[in-house]
Amino acid sequence: MSGLTAPFTLVIDDYHAVTNAEFDIALAELLDFSPHLSLVVIGRRVTLLDRPIVTGRTPTTVIGPRDLAVPPEEALALAAKHGLAESDRLRAAIEQSAGWPLAIRAVLEAPLDDVPVDPFTGLNRFALDHLELVGSPARHMLLAASQLDAITLDQAAEFCETDMARMRAGMHTLIEYGVLTAIAGPDTTEFRCHPAVLPYLAARARRSFSSEQRSELYIGRAERIVGTAPFTAFRLYCAAEAYSEAEVVLALHFTTIIDEVDETSRILRSLTDATLETYPTFAAARLLLAMPDPTVPPATLNLLIAVWQRGVERAYSEGSARSEELELPRLAQAMVLERLLGKMEEAGAHARELEARLKAAESEEDPIEVTGQRPSDGPNATLLHGSLPTYYREIASTALMVGDFAQARRNWAQLRMHAERMIVAPWHGFPHASTRTVTDVESGQRWLLAALYEQAYTEVLDGDIRRCAELLTEADTFARETGTAAPGLSWVAGEVGRAHLSYELADEALLEQALTTLAPTKDRIEQWSLLLIAQAEAERRRRGVSWAISQLQANLVSLDESRRRNDAWQGYLDSYLALLYTVLGDFVSASKILDGLDQSLALVRVERARLALFAGDDVQALLIAQAIGDSGATKRQRLERCLISATAAWACDKPQESALALQNAADLMERYYLPSALWGVPFALLREAAVAARDAGVADLVELIDAVPEEARCERYGQLTEMEQRTLEAIAVHRSANEAASALFVTQGTVKKHLASVYRKLHAKGRNDAILQAARMGLLPRGYAGEGAA
């Protein structure tokens, strides 16, 4: 060889028959004899030639399956040369062949007797022919691999009940034939069935293996990958009906798994009610995924809630909630379930406990990158990877419904930070063996959007309209730029917030946008009470308080009873209805509603002060309002307290107190912008006080007050004198002024004079109108209204 004077190429065929380390190194050394010598080594596999160990002095070019792959365009051109007409099935078969020349040859098999052969028939025959080419261990390994995303050599040996040496030899044969491909895992090499033959071998395996054998395969694979690919492990455990193991994986990686909406929904829909009840985490996930689906009827949702409730109650009664892995998930499920059932005191206690437990669990962990790359090493570690977003959201939602804005904001902030870390963390691709389709970045974007929408809603409840508008703008811009959708029904909060912005900003298009977006899910949202309030406030701004009450009552009638279980939002709705009745002058109805509420709540005390103000008891209104502290009061309630105090103080001839209250109100209005709060106090009285405060250089709210829509302006009713009250009672009983005069022992003219004053003070247009309004105010028993009308 050293005497070569011209280029010389030596071709060695079928080298796979003799390849070993000694021969490979000898070939590399052979090239040192002459620079004119080139070797072409042809083999299905080699031991060392395609590895860095032979690259020191030996330039090596490896031509493998990727280099030999046939592009789809070239395959279609070959089909045309063979007289095969292009079709959807032909293109699909070529795509399934993944460029494998032998598979494409099978697809392009020549027609028999001028009868076209279906391209998939050729692939099917090609796949099954390989089963005849290999021995028993290799055949079993190939069929086993077709049932899984990938298989390791040790799992194949275990399943085929053979030793590693025979299994390794069978594996080499399958790789040489091309039906298996090797994939480097983090700890070991795994083997995957080639997509060209996968569906046909999988169908054969389903006929060849018993259900017990398939379950063995699924569980064996799931146990090997649960640390790096929980979603895949969850799917495999469910396929094997290993539901205990599947529930643990779902509970510890809840967010990660429900991010895969379509596949997880498909799996959970296949489970029986008995299985959902036995493993309530399945029911929780199915309910969460079904909620935003408008094709799922409310009856199905109610059934799922009932099944879930029985499952959670049984889990606690049987003590399974005390198991380490399911302890926190069970606590979270109990919290959400109690919230849905309106058991707010219990839900709030669980929210506080869960938050404390999460904080303790996180403090035990080292700082980690949120990439999903780290294998799980216990329930706390996996918790940090796969469930935190859901926990943060549910704790915050519960906190809002029990009025703990501080806890809600803490958890929204935690959710936002967690999502932002997922977005900015380096993305190295899906973890080994993962079959996920949603990346960490995409998941982070979804949950960031959820945090933005929920934060906006929180600000509406608290009364910071400026901040709500900023957050909604940020959320809408982020959704538009990224094409992201918030998970589950978390976007609903943003739309309810948008509905409330509509009347505060005098933009009816915002309400229409919110109602249109919410229409498909209007029968399944937790915040339905707040949406009704937004609609009523928009109507009040447009047409007045009577129309607002009518619309609210009509909407309430259309609700089924099962949706009225939520005591938290019901309190908001009841206090709002009391406000409307107070402004309308129906003090009896307002008082009756307020009597049924918790008198210690700030929103109830505000309405008590408002009722006293409109009823003409200014001293009582001022005392109640001034007794309401900042602690436990929202920004809106603090502003309303200031406006009621200012108006009542002015009516009590206390201009300095009135001006100070208006100064505080102006500061709050400047920071938070709540023009609708101005609709809840007597317009003329408030304006008088505001003009005086402006002239004194204390505060200037006059322009904002003058901007209150005409229909939303309210007036209070005048106090009747004793004689006016007696005249009203007489005219309610008797049909004419003459009869009333006789009953009162006064002249008809005196009755008419007092009636004119009554009509003016009660803003009444006549006798019946005055009687009706007086009954509303409690000046007459309700029965008088009926008699008078008759």
Q: What is the pLDDT of residues 520-569, one digit of tens each?
A: 988 888 888 999 999 999 999 999 999 999 999 998 887 755 455 455 68
Q: Quick one: pLDDT at residue 56? A: 63
658 or 113: which leads in pLDDT = 658
How many whole angstroms separate alpha carbon 85 and alpha carbon 716? 85
Contact (Cβ atoms closer than 8 angstroms) between residue 302 and residue 293? no
Give yes or no for residue 733 having a pLDDT over 60.
yes
Task: Kindly report, residue by residue over 230-259, the tens digit of the pLDDT.
Answer: 999 999 999 999 999 999 999 999 999 999
Cβ neighbours around 119 below 10 Å, total = 24
Give the pairing of strands 180-184 and 151-152. unpaired
Q: What's the pLDDT at 385? A: 57
Mean pLDDT (the chain) is: 88
Say what the pLDDT of residue 115 is.
61
Q: What number of CA atoms fall less than 13 Å from residue 758's CA on the CB side?
A: 30
Are the C-beta atoms of residues 147 and 213 closer than 8 Å to each other?
no
74-78 long-range contacts (CB < 8 A, ≥24 apart) are 75/99, 75/104, 75/107, 75/108, 78/104, 78/108
Asked if residue 790 has pLDDT above 50, the reply is: no
Q: How many whole angstroms from its chain centre is CA 656?
A: 50
**Long-range CB contact pairs, 352-361, < 8 A, 24+:** 352/407, 354/328, 354/391, 354/395, 355/395, 355/407, 355/410, 355/411, 357/328, 357/331, 358/328, 358/383, 358/388, 358/391, 358/395, 361/328
pLDDT (0 to 100) of residue 442: 96
Q: Which pLDDT score is estimated for 64? A: 81
Quote the CA–CA distance of 18 and 592 in Å, as a whole number. 96
Asked whether 142 and 217 are in contact (CB, 8 A), the reply is: no
Judged by phi (left if over 0) then psi (alpha if -120 to 50, else beta), residue 267 lies in alpha
Most confident of 60-64, 86-90, 728-732, 777-781: 86-90
The distance in angstroms from the start CA to the end CA of the chain is 126
CA distance 16 to 23: 11
Q: What is the pLDDT of residue 222?
A: 96
Which of 107, 115, 114 is CA-nearest to residue 87?
A: 107
* Residue 32 to residue 39: CA distance in whole angstroms: 12
State the Cα–Cα distance between residues 347 and 399, nearest whole angstrom.
9
- Nearest 5°: phi and psi at 29? -70, -30
At 53, is the pLDDT very low, low, confident or very high (cuts 50, 70, 90)?
low
Buried b / exposed e across 638-662, counting CB within 10 Å, b at 16+? bbbbbbbbbbbbbbeebbebbbbbb
What CA–CA distance (Å, rounded) separates 377 from 227?
8
Residue with tokens 């050599």, as numbered in its chain: 153
Task: Decide: residue 598, CB within 10 A, 0-12 exposed, 13-18 middle, 19+ buried.
Answer: exposed
Hey, is 8 helix, strand or coil? Answer: strand
Asked if 289 contacts 488 with a C-beta cutoff of 8 angstroms, the reply is: yes
Taking the alpha carbons of 330, 333, 338, 344 in that order, is the dihedral positive or negative?
positive
Contact 527, 556 (CB under 8 A): no
Question: What b/e readout covers 135-157, taking b as 16+ CB neighbours within 10 angstroms?
Answer: eebbbbbbbbbbbbbbbbbebbb
Q: Of the given ranges (36-45, 106-115, 616-625), which has the lowest mean pLDDT? A: 106-115
- CA distances (Å), 381 to each of 94, 226, 371, 440, in order? 44, 13, 13, 17
Q: List, as one string, the DSSP characters of 407-451.
A: HHHHHHHHHHHHHHHHHHSPP--SPTT----S-HHHHHHHHHHHH
Residue range 156-185: mean pLDDT, rounded = 91
Distance CA 459, CA 473 (A): 14
- 44 neighbors 16 (Cβ within 8 angstroms): yes
- Tell the burial category of 731 from Cβ atoms under 10 Å away from its Cβ (0-12, 13-18, 19+): buried
